[in-house]
Structure 1
């Protein structure tokens, strides 16, 4: 998914269900200058999504251990 976020940032947003962000990213990526910020935005969003998933898993484990 990381490689997809670098090569086709708009597609990584669409595959994660963020349609509006995917369209905005595609519009940004259309320009050659905008491709780098779009790729960085997609990578940042992907890392944030992974951290959220990890935190939810930790919270569930903490609640289950009570």
Structure 2
């Protein structure tokens, strides 16, 4: 669901994750039709990186709990 939001409404993807200034910058970028594609790519990559960071933190906590 968030990936679709990141593609069609890139600024909303950042806004929903609490990145207000990044959201405003992305909105300014996507106002132009040619800027929409880079904004969508940026939002999807940022979303994937955020998910990877959460996954890594969960693994680190699991490893620390075992030792």
Q: Compute the TM-score of the two structures, normalised by the length of structure 2.
A: 0.97
Gaps of 5+ in 2: none
Gaps of 5+ in 1: none
In the alignment, the residues of structure 2 paired with residue 8 and residue 48 of structure 1 have an alpha-carbon distance, to the nearest angstrom, of 18
Q: Deviations over 1:1-59 (max 9, x none)?
A: 00000000000000000000000000000000000000000001000000000000000
- Runs of 4+ in structure 1 off by over 6 angstroms are none
Paired residues in the alignment total 66
Provide the aligned C-alpha RMSD in A. Answer: 0.3
1:34 aligns with 35
